[in-house]
Each structure stands twice: as structure tokens, then as C-alpha cells.
Structure 1
Amino acid sequence: MINALMEVRGVRYAAIVDAGGASVMQVGDQPDLSVAVSARAMIGSLKAAMGAEDWNDLLLDIEGGPVLLTPVGDQILMTAFDDVASLGRVRFAVRRALGKI
């Protein structure tokens, strides 16, 4: 199901990361799973500070390029791509892929 994300121009990798920081599924380049682990802790803090129960997605613009983090139950889908200008295409593809889960 996440294989389709590699068809989006500019996507370097996609990976589903479990709560323990292990890759459940991945396609494309090798992801840096520590990003998902650190982001999970940050998201937990932000949710607590804002009194939020859920989150939709988080865009990190890091040295290697943007990474979109999207919740999939208790897991996180990491989608790394080349250019922030591609964000709309990537978000659309992620929503379409998640609909197949």
C-alpha cells in the first residue's frame, strides 16, 4: 500500500514505524527511524500542552529534506521527499494510501 507513494515525483522513501521505533514496512531509501522516535516524543508533549487528543500530520523540514509524519493508529507513516513545493502532491498520495489500509 505504501509502494504507491514512490510513484509521487520527489518521494525518497516511505516507512511505517511502530511505537517502539522499528520499521514495520518501508520502500525507497533507508529512513532515519530516530526521526520518528524523536517526533513521537515531541508530538506527545505538544498534544499535552495544547490539550489535544489527536494529531493529523507534522512536517519537519530537516537537513536531508522535508519529512511528513502522519499517524496510522499507534504507528507513524514517514514520507520523505525532495522539495516542500511537492507537499500537496505528497499529502494527497498519503491520504489515498491510508485509505487502502
Structure 2
Amino acid sequence: MIQQLLEVRGVRHVALLDPAGSIVTSAGSGADISVVQIGRAVIGSLQAALGQSEWQDLLLDMEGGPILLTPHGNQVLLTAFDQVDSLGRVRFAVRRLLG
């Protein structure tokens, strides 16, 4: 299923992680999945501060390239890609896949 995202120009790595941070499935290579736990902590803090219960996605612009974290039930989809300029294309593909 998530391997389809590797067909999107610029996408290097995709991983679906469970609530404990373990990989459920992945494709490609080159991303540090430890950012998912950090991203979840940031999101949790923001949700508490803003009184929000839902989130859409979180973009981390890392030294090795941007990483998009997207919720999928209680799991998180990590999508690592080449440049922030590709964000629109990547978001569209992720939403189409998860929708």
C-alpha cells in the first residue's frame, strides 16, 4: 500500500509506525524514524496548549530533507522527500492514499 508513495517524484522513504514507534511497514530508505516520537511529543504539547484533539500533519524541515508526519488512526505515516517545494504534491499523494 505505502510503496505507491515512492512513485511520487522526490519521495525517498515512507514508513507507517504504531503508537509505540515500531515500524508496521516501510518502503525506501534514508529517513530517521526516531523523529516520529519527537513529533508526537510536539503535537501533544500543541494540542494541550490549543485545546485541540485532532491534527492533520506536521512538516519537519530536517538537514537531510523534509519529513511529513501524517496521522492514520492511532498510527503515524512518515514520508521523507527531497525538498519543501514538493510538499503540495506529497500531501496530495498521502491524502489520496489514506483517504
Give the TM-score category using the shorter length. over 0.9
Alignment deviations for residues 7-51 of structure 1 (CA, whole Å, 9 cap, x no partner) = 001101010011101000100005312100111111111100000
Q: How does 1:1-101 map to 2 (within 5 A)?
A: 1-99=1-99
State the shift of 1:3 in Å.
1.0
Post-superposition, which runs of at least 4 consecutive aligned residues in structure 1 deviate over 6 A? none
TM-score by length of 1: 0.94
Gaps of 5+ in 1: none
Matched position secondary structure for 1:55: coil
Distance 2:21 2:32 in 1: 10
Name the aligned partner's letter for residue 59 of structure 1.
Answer: L
Matched position secondary structure for 1:32: coil
TM-score by length of 2: 0.96
Matched position secondary structure for 1:76: strand
Distance 1:81 1:33 in 2: 13
Figure out how many residues of one structure are paired with residues of the other and give that number.
99
